[in-house]
Chain A
Amino acid sequence: MNYFFNKNGPLISTYLIISIGFWLIFLIIIPQLYMFDLSFRPNIPTLLRGGPDDVYTLVHYKHFLFGSETSGERYNYVDVRVFLDTILTAILITLINLCFCYPIAFYIAKVASAKTARLLIVSLIIPFWINELLRSFALRILFAGEGFINNVLIKMGVIDTGINFIAMDVALYTGLNYAYILLMIFPLYNAIETLDKNQLEAAEDLGSSMIRTHLRIVIPHAKAGIASGCTMVFMLTAGALATPVVLSSPNTFWFTQLIYQWFNMNDNWPRGAAYSVVLLTVSVVFVLLMMKIFKVKIGEIVR
């Protein structure tokens, strides 16, 4: 501590301690602990809080798994299905995202000239200057029944009547894929960029096909970037709210929409907190799984 103060001077040291402390305590530790604590409390009016009825309970977690006591079902099929659907879809979208972004990242990092690479990066970034909600609405316009895509397809004579992309969730998956594309491309790009170009040429010179070069040289080199991109895209996709609200079909429900309902519409904060904790737990498990699969350390992922 003394060393720290001597090194940075009293003013900067105090500033660093206060800002980092505020960030850590007020923005991370307290909200998380509060949510965690809240998820084990009954949903009772403010007046009764701290009273005899305010005891720790697993009722909200029970509700997530088994539904309300009045329902005849054995399990809470609706919520659990929404949850599993969300997780599986998020995994699928992460994989599609990876397959889609890897070639782009590789092209920018190793194939394109410096000028083309700059141009591509800029054209990737510019659409993201617009708010996520607006981007989702733009996609909705593109995919709508009377939307741009349908109109073009009809004019070209490919189809006779408009396809309902929204109901088929094509719009949702496209939107979710597009929403976090940068968070996949940049870690991949950063990782691939550090690969020595001679490695690629050496592999080619030794007779390797393009696919094998990627499997044996590029992907092992870029695995930290892949793990990093996948965890970020997965967590943000599973936790997305705006895109599903705007683009999902009436009968598709995203888990975050459930959480939103508990908090805002049903005014049941403890239940919303419990559902959030479930989602958070799965996200953490996913990160640990990625680290295990790719054999990377947490430090490499966040890099």
Chain B
Amino acid sequence: MSADVELQKVSVSFGNFYAAKNVSVKIEKGEFFSFLGPSGCGKTTLLRAISGFAEPSDGKILIGGQDMAGIGPNKRPTSLIFQNLALFPLMSVADNIAFSLEVRGTGKVQRRNRADELLELVALSGQGNKKVHELSGGQKQRVAIARALAIEPAVLLLDEPLSALDLKLRQKMRTELREIQKRVGITFIYITHDQGEALTMSDRIAVMNEGELEQVGSGHNVYEAPHTPFVASFVGENNAFYGTVISTNGDMVRVSSQGKDFLAKAGDLKDGKKHTFQKRDKVIMFVRPESIFLKDQINQADNIFSAIFKTIEFEGNLKNIYLSIDGVQDVRCSISNAVETATLSTSESIELKFSSRDAVVLPVGPLAVD
């Protein structure tokens, strides 16, 4: 049985410090939902409030329409997977998985059967008698998932469970988690600071900063139409051009930055409308590195400017080119490794292009610090 989770103006405070402020969001039944934010943004606190380990100081948490106030973690239809997994090292794998059934007084044989069933679900058949320490990192991960699923929770809560794994395994586990979620069909609420994880797995993402929700939307939405400078700079890489508005024409905004004119589209607001700007408004124009091209790469683009080449960084599939306008504005441009760049030399002025459709203008606000 899956259930929806609704947060109504939830705040969690520790003394005078608000770890979560006035968070309202409805997570649909069967959804893979991620809270994405830098460390200390309150996402873990929010997850603990949903699981029952922290009490909201304000607001309500509803699971399947039922108010969870005063209901302990052991009575909620949620299961939590801890960041360090918290498997019980002195029990066998099967005993770990069936612990929630043991607690409920289920018989030994039934417990074992259920454990075997779950081991099969997470592709670990026949490993039930092993000790936890005999498993590899990825296998432990799967045991933790199986243990959390044993009582058939309506909602599975995951607190950065992949952060301890190495890159390759992490990527593999992303796909696997997503598949397991589809198979069991329950709501997954996932906490992460890794935007790659959030983007690849989630149906929807809530980007958090300093205890507040900045934006809730699909991965595409969050990546391509950020509502705030924080979201624009935290999710993926971005070039931020500080400037002032020269003129507006419908959704299109002409921005002056570093003595150059650029054309860009106005960013979205929470309610789906566009930001409106007045002449001389201070703004930031965001352009993704992969949306900036070398002059010869594309023909059509309504923004052309030149910048001084500084250095190039090889990343495998991509090359990052670092440039600078007048030594003040840094520009980063990511191009496919296939593009020839051997002719570029330091301090050379290079012409760059980007389309106004790929540039978003937002009012000035705090960026994500990295």
Contact = CB atoms under 8 A, between A and B. Distances in A.
Interface string B134-150: 00000000000001001
Contacts of A217: 88
B114 to A, nearest CB: 13
B74 A199 contact: no
Contacts of A202: 80, 82, 86-88
B72 A204 contact: yes
Contact of A212 (B53, B75, B91, B103): B103
A198 B103 contact: no
Contact of A206 (B53, B83, B90, B151): B151
A201 B151 contact: no
Interface string B96-120: 0001101110000000000000000
Contact of B79 (A198, A199, A206, A220): A206
A216 B98 CA distance: 13
Contacts, number: 59
B90 A196 contact: no
A199 B147 CA distance: 13
A83 B3 CA distance: 66
Contact of B82 (A201, A207, A212): A201
Given A198-B84, A201-B53, A201-B82, A208 B103 contact: yes
Most B CB contacts (10 A, CB to CB) among A206, A209, A212 go to: A206
B128 interface: no
Contact of A205 (B73, B83, B90): B73
Interface string A75-105: 0000000000000000000000000000000
A216 B88 CA distance: 9
B86 A207 contact: no
A212 B74 CA distance: 13
Nearest to A210: B74
Interface string A212-238: 100011001100000000000000000
B345 to A, nearest CB: 54
A203 interface: yes
B80 A207 contact: no
Given A199-B88, A201-B73, A221-B90, A206 B82 contact: no
B55 to A, nearest CB: 14
A185 B54 CA distance: 30
A209 B103 contact: yes
B192 interface: no
Interface in B147-200: 147, 150-151
A198 B81 CA distance: 10
A205 B79 contact: yes
Contacts of A199: 86, 88
Contacts of B228: none
Nearest to A196: B86
Interface in B202-256: none
Interface in B49-89: 51-53, 72-75, 78-80, 82-84, 86-88
Most A CB contacts (10 A, CB to CB) among B72, B74, B91, B147 go to: B74
Interface string B335-366: 00000000000000000000000000000000
Given A198-B82, A201-B53, A201-B82, A208 B99 contact: yes
Contacts of A209: 74, 103
A277 to B, nearest CB: 38
B150 to A, nearest CB: 8
Nearest to A212: B103
Most B CB contacts (10 A, CB to CB) among A196, A202, A204 go to: A202
Contacts of A196: 84, 86
A196 B75 CA distance: 22
A6 to B, nearest CB: 38
A300 to B, nearest CB: 14
B82 A203 contact: no
Contact of A207 (B53, B88, B103): B103
Most B CB contacts (10 A, CB to CB) among A198, A204, A207, A212 go to: A207
Nearest to A200: B86
A205 B102 CA distance: 13
Contacts of A204: 72-74
Nearest to A221: B90
B245 to A, nearest CB: 50
B84 A206 contact: no
Contacts of B100: 206-208
B182 to A, nearest CB: 24
Given A198-B86, A199-B88, A221-B90, A205 B103 contact: no
B343 to A, nearest CB: 55
Contact of B151 (A207, A212, A221): A207
Contacts of A212: 103
Nearest to B100: A206
Most B CB contacts (10 A, CB to CB) among A199, A212, A220 go to: A199
B86 A201 contact: yes
A217 B90 CA distance: 8
Contacts of B80: 201-202, 205
Pick the 3 closest A-B CB pairs, nearest first.
Answer: A198-B86, A202-B86, A206-B100
Given A199-B86, A216-B99, 13 more contacts: A196-B84, A198-B83, A201-B73, A205-B52, A205-B53, A205-B74, A205-B78, A206-B150, A206-B151, A207-B100, A208-B103, A209-B103, A221-B90
Interface of A: 196, 198-199, 201-209, 212, 216-217, 220-221
19 contacts: A198-B84, A201-B73, A201-B80, A203-B88, A203-B99, A205-B51, A206-B100, A206-B103, A207-B75, A207-B100, A207-B103, A207-B104, A207-B151, A208-B74, A208-B99, A208-B100, A212-B103, A216-B99, A221-B90
